[in-house]
Amino acid sequence: MGISKGQTPHIVEGLYMNNGKHHKVWKINFNMPVSCLWTGSCSMTDGWIGSYEGIMESSSRALAANGICPGFEVAESIVTYWWCVSDGSSLNGSACLRQCWTRGSTVIASAASYASISLSAPGSGWQWQFWQMAYMTGADSDEVCCDSYYCADTRAQQISGDDVSISNCNLNLYWGDVPSTSRCSSPLMGYIWVEDNNLNFINGNQWEHSMIGECIGWVGPSCAGAIYIDNNHYLNWVGCSGNLYRACWRLCQFCSTFSNSSGPNPSPGASYAGALWMDQEFGYTHLAYIGCDGNKYIAGAGRDPTE
Amino acid sequence: MIRVNILTPQQAEKLGLKKTSQNSGSGIKAVGCIVEGKHGEEGKIVEQMILRENNETELIFMEKEREKDLKNRGQFSEYVKQFKKIPEELK
């Protein structure tokens, strides 16, 4: 007879899933659309996580030196809680699964979920249950805002029944060279301009972001500052030198599988093609525009969230 | 190529352009799932949930067997109360 339980926590840049999906966090814009990571079935030994991208705990990182600016995600706390019974054992209890980020002694983000564990193994054999939770944190005045030790705290606190609690684990790391999260004045929100070869804008959080494009040709300095949407729905702009640049990524707004109410992605129609604005939705860090096909696209200064 | 027409967020909203996001699949701060398995079987997902940036929790999926099990133990109502949104079929 046997009962075992435990947790496997990490702080990571992202996850490579066994189903081929890549869930990244490091340097993407705040709260980008997320596709469903857990699909199909998995084995007990591997779960869905194929490998961890950039494990960070017990290390230090210089954020600004690594291209992090306010409005970018920095890391994800990922934890797997597991319970297993074997050879005729059973386990029936409930616990509160807690996962929080702290900066020194300050809690900057926390999540809790009620877990009901009900396992019963036959005479020979076993049964198991595990929970996986992932929680992001980013460069913001309420989150990663100063040079400090940051910690991901994960635990399962007993509520009732058999003891299904799992003692806490604290993973620590030091983030230095944290960029300033001070904001521009609000009248500047939505300003968009070409600066040198980049497309700069004041985003919905009143931070200046700078999109670095890929040079795709030369049209001459007389066109400097012009901004276009090409037939593949990418943002293009002409730099001060007359070179034409294309944004490194764009994403057609989609309704993710993480929703129980998503319908088909409605299109406002091609009559609105060319409309561009600083979106004040989810994350407040991206530009939104209507492409030639009439769909809404988003683009931003962070890494491509889908690559 | 189309030259852009820069709008304020208010103008975009007035034109009905912002509705395309439906606030779905976006603004997610945390995600979670529960998996169960038995000896000789592959694990299967029995629940998925998300936490949005406004701290609202949503239960995305609950397997029928898990729903039945929680109901049999009288824990279902208390359990789903923690979520701001639950799937229509669980209401």
pLDDT, block means (10 residues), chain A with 307 residues: 91 89 90 73 71 95 97 94 92 93 94 86 85 91 96 96 97 97 88 94 93 95 93 94 95 61 65 89 87 90 87
Cα–Cα nearest to A97, from A127, A129, A131? A131
Q: Which residue of B has its CA nearest to A292?
A: B2
Name residue A40's beta-bridge partners.
none
- Residues A140, A53, B44: CA angle, nearest 5 degrees: 105
Among the partner-chain residues B9, B22, B32, the one whose CB lies closest to the CB of A132 is B32
Residue B2: pLDDT over 90: no
CA distance A218 to A41: 50
Query: Which pLDDT score is estimated for A227?
Result: 94
Determine which of A265, A290, A297 to mutate to test the interface with B (most B C-beta atoms within 10 Å). Answer: A290
Query: Which pLDDT score is estimated for A202?
Result: 94
Query: Which amino acid type is present at position B61?
Result: F
Q: Is residue A169 part of a domain?
A: yes
Same domain as A209, residue A166 = no
Range of the domain at A231: 186-299
Residues of B within 8 A of A274 (CB-CB) are: 2-5
Q: Is residue A140 part of a domain?
A: yes
Q: Is residue A261 part of a domain?
A: yes
Provide the domain count of chain A.
2
Q: Is residue A172 part of a domain?
A: yes
Name residue A61's beta-bridge partners.
A175
Mean pLDDT (whole number) for B6-15: 80
Chain centroid, CA B50 distance in Å? 5
Contact call for residues A114 and A98 (beta carbons, < 8 A): no
Residues of A within 8 A of B50 (CB-CB) are: 258
Query: Which amino acid type is present at position A40?
Result: G
Same domain as A38, residue A171 = yes
* pTM, two decimal places: 0.87
Same domain as A142, residue A229 = no
Three-class SS state of A231: coil
Judged by CB atoms closer than 8 Å, whether chains meet at A288 and B22 is answered as: no
pLDDT in tens, B34-74: 888 777 777 788 888 888 777 788 888 898 988 998 898 88
Q: Chain A: nearest CA to B22, how far in angstroms?
A: 7
Same domain as A197, residue A83 = no
Among the partner-chain residues B4, B43, B45, the one whose CB lies closest to the CB of A44 is B43
CA distance A78 to A10: 5
Among the partner-chain residues A228, A253, A280, the one whose CB lies closest to the CB of B3 is A228
Q: Is residue A64 part of a domain?
A: yes
Query: Which pLDDT score is estimated for A111?
Result: 86
Among the partner-chain residues A34, A190, A254, the one whose CB lies closest to the CB of B28 is A34
Same domain as A165, residue A38 = yes
Judged by a CB distance cut-off of 8 A, whether residue A205 touches chain B is no
CA distance A30 to A25: 9
Same domain as A134, residue A10 = yes
Q: Chain A: nearest CA to B61, how far in angstroms?
A: 8
To the nearest 10°, the Cα dihedral for A178, A181, A182, A187?
A: 150
Contact call for residues A90 and A8 (beta carbons, < 8 A): no
Q: Chain A: nearest CA to B64, how far in angstroms?
A: 15
Same domain as A208, residue A145 = no
Query: Which pLDDT score is estimated for A143?
Result: 95
Q: Is A53 exposed, middle or buried (0-12, 13-18, 19+ CB in 10 A)?
A: middle
Same domain as A263, residue A168 = no
Contact call for residues A88 and A72 (beta carbons, < 8 A): no
Same domain as A193, residue A161 = no
Same domain as A259, residue A170 = no
Judged by CB atoms closer than 8 Å, whether chains meet at A268 and B15 is answered as: yes
Whole-number Cα distances in Å, B52 to A74, A76, A239, A285, A303: 17, 15, 37, 16, 21
Query: Which pLDDT score is estimated for A74?
Result: 97
Domain end, chosen from A122, A149, A176, is at A176
Q: Is residue A133 part of a domain?
A: yes
For residue A178, the 8-state DSSP code is: P
Same domain as A138, residue A80 = yes
Judged by a CB distance cut-off of 8 A, whether residue A226 touches chain B is yes
Same domain as A203, residue A134 = no
Three-class SS state of A4: strand
Whole-number Cα distances in Å, A102 to A10, A63, A75, A155: 15, 17, 13, 14
Among the partner-chain residues B7, B70, B87, the one whose CB lies closest to the CB of A275 is B7
Structure tokens, A236: 């293009």
Give kind and range of the element (H or E) at residue A81.
strand A73-86
Domain end, chosen from A154, A176, A198, is at A176
Query: Which pLDDT score is estimated for A260?
Result: 41
